[in-house]
Structure 1
Amino acid sequence: MSGGVDSSVTAKLLADQDYDLSAVFMRNWDTRDESGTDSGCEWKKDWEDVQRVCRMLGLKCEMVDLSREYWTRVFEPALDLWEAGSTPNPDIWCNKEVKFGALMDRLTSKNSWLATGHYADKKWALPPLSVSNLFAYGKFPPRPQLRRPLDRSKDQTYYLAAVPEASLARALFPLAPYKKTEVRAMAQKWGLPTASREESMGICFVGEKRKFDDFIAQYIPPKPGPIIDLEGGRILGRHPGLYSYTIGQNARIKGMHQKMFVAKKDPKENAIYVVPGPEHPALYCASITVDKWKWIWEDAPPTGIDGEGFRGRVQYRHRMVDVPGTIQRRADGTIRITFQKPQSSVATGQVAVMWNRDWCLGCGIITATEGSLH
């Protein structure tokens, strides 16, 4: 439980069923690392809300401090990517490494299940039919599939794409058949203490009241460099560090007659290149190279990836509609995804997720973009 309305309703839905149920609150970020004190810390309010809901539902609850695991497995790798000019997504790795990793490892029983307030779904399916299992087909146990929920506007399956199959098998997503409006209405009907609590947005350790650049500057030394017009080569301004901009972002350069957008970052030159207008051809790419790819069903990737490729749906940001694309595995083991139509504002460090309709197959980290239209 996070202290929000979604996990509170999840707890109530399960409490009304015949489960041996208890709640756990994860503390992932230690503000003492920044300020030397816990005063005014947001996690304390979250923990208080969790306890209030649990008292109302008659549930045992505990807090688990996973801040060290979060620091080493999520935050430090993200810092390295930001410093190199990439755009990581820590929330995806938090789910893999912490919530469905370190926390699940601490569950007292291997028969335990972990329920969350994610808007996601899970189905059970038999493995694909092949020559090797033709005669034994039907004897294999069903396997978990990560699926999109009913409420596509709140869909969070993108953030769960890196969760391994073994963890997914022990996961429950009770909010799968509900819309957010229904969840809020249930919370109000039941009088849950978190019913009117606003949604939290943004990266968890940054919070909503701080600017990202100011926060990251506490951990990455400033490294100013030029902002350069990609078309004319003219220096238009300065940046405090490559982490301060991402591909496709409005660079907000003063004195320009037209808005300039980030088209390229050069770590070697410590330079950011911009172009005029949000539809400039240099903002688009035809394909991407993806490293550290993981299929949720590791031993059963889709057919065709070593040949002409598998045609599916691709998502490289949370708030986007998935687009058609073909995924192929190269001889060096890296993955190439070719878009059916060129895509705008694709940044290295982002996570590319592959889908078979509403079935999430796996994901990897974008390391390069190819085929700029410029």
Structure 2
Amino acid sequence: MCNKHVKFSCFYHYAVDNLGADAVATGHYARTSLEDEEVFEQKHTKRPDGLFRNRFEVRNPVKLLQAADSFKDQTFFLSQVSQDALRRTIFPLGELTKDFVKKIAAENRLHHVLQKKESMGICFIGKRNFEHFILQYLQPRPGKFISIEDNKVLGTHKGWFLYTLGQRAKISGLKEPWYVVEKDGVKGDVLVAPQVDHPALYRDLLRTNRVHWIAEEPPAALVRDKMMECHFRFRHQMALVPCVLTLNQDGTVWVTAVKAVRGLALGQFAVFYKSGECLGSGKILRLGPSAYTLQKGKNRTRVTPEVSSDSPGLHPTP
């Protein structure tokens, strides 16, 4: 959220409105259609001449495109940026790989840059313990770890909000790994399963809030057909997942994954892609049933077939 509310809102408006900047440049690995001059190639748009700032006066929607370095691509974190800010943002690293950037740094003797470690995790927490950080702001809410398979209580914890779906739960006294599959915010319980690939962790359906679309609001194909094939991800650097979007009247979308994915959780952002373009994103508000729930439902509704009186085994033994 720091990109949406700080860098591309507060900082952006300060640079443009107070400092009179034509644009801002960031170190994100991403590209835009402006930088590819795609906008200028459209026949109905006259290419502006003169001052550098004139290029930002083009009124065609600016697209957010994935970086040349697919591994370092950071469009996931930019999927909530406004069209106005994107129009006046430059990404100098968008066409470069991380290795080439390091080569440039070495040639210019920027050794302190080369020695910097990759930034990981949540930037404003840094090296601090996540649990300790959260408990500075939220009161502990002790609850129980419960097995999703037999409802057995396995241990206790300090608060359900300290865990996310799919992560390993450190349960005192247990050597075997258990993984968080559900959370009950009312009772305070955390449901866990004994395998990293337990079916309770897999879902293929979710619903978002009103989607923030970057270039089209929403894409023309989605408006026309009410459905659209594309890809999505809900974690940075995870493989893109093929899916089908279904548009609702309130601007929310149902996302149906072609194959069930592991670790979907409420509050995450589903970020949508099509042909190298980041279309936008929406916060996950609802989840469909897990594969484990569906499997249990099938088992409950399975009816034992009736056996006729002349079937083998029903006649008394002579």
2:13 maps to: 105
Whose radius of gyration is greater, 1 or 2? 2
Q: What percent identity do the matched residue pairs reach?
A: 35
CA 1:305–1:342: 2 relative to 1, 3 Å: farther
Q: Which residue of 2 aligns with 1:342?
A: 260
Match of 2:28 among 118, 129, 150: 118
Structure 2 segments unaligned to the other structure (5+ residues): 47-57, 293-318
TM-score (norm 2): 0.80
Please state how far the C-alpha of 1:123 moved relative to its aligned partner: 1.2
1:95 CA drift (Å): 0.5
Q: Is the 8 A contact 1:308 1:328 kept in 2?
A: yes
> How far apart, in 2, do the equivalents of 1:310 and 1:99 lie?
31
Provide Cα deviations, 1:72-128, integer angstroms capped at 9, x if missing partner: xxxxxxxxxxxxxxxxxxxxx1101110100011113565211011111111356xx
Matches within 5 A, 1:1-374: 93-107=1-15, 108=18, 112-124=22-34, 125=38, 141-192=59-110, 193-208=112-127, 210-256=128-174, 258-305=176-223, 307-374=225-292
Query: What is the alpha-carbon root mean square deviation over aligned residues?
Result: 2.2
Q: Which ranges of structure 1 fall in alignment gaps of 5 or more residues?
A: 1-92, 130-135
Instruction: State the 1:216 CA deviation.
Output: 0.9
Match of 1:71 in 2: none
CA contact (8 A) 2:226 2:247 kept: no
Cα 1:137–1:309, aligned 2, differ >3 Å: closer, same or farther?
farther
Deviations 1:191-218 (A, max 9, x none): 124332222222111102x110001110
Q: How many Å separate the matches in 2 of 1:153 and 1:184?
A: 15
TM-superposed deviation, 1:172: 0.5
Task: Give the C-alpha shift of residue 268 in structure 1.
Answer: 1.4
8 Å Cα contact 2:144-2:156 kept in structure 1: yes
Whole-Å separation in 1 of the counterparts to 2:248 and 2:106: 52
Conservation of the 8 A alpha-carbon contact between 1:242 and 1:271:
yes
Whole-angstrom distance in 2 between the partners of 1:300 and 1:365: 16
Q: Is the 8 A contact 1:305 1:327 kept in 2?
A: no
Q: Between Structure 1 and Structure 2, how many residues are aligned?
A: 274
Shift of the alpha carbon at 1:306?
6.8
Q: 1:346 to 1:335 in 2, by over 3 A?
A: same
Classify 1:196/1:342 alpha carbon distance in 2 versus 1 (closer, same or farther; 3 Å): same
Q: What's the TM-score, normalizing by structure 1?
A: 0.69
Cα distance in 2 for partners of 1:343, 1:308 equals 23
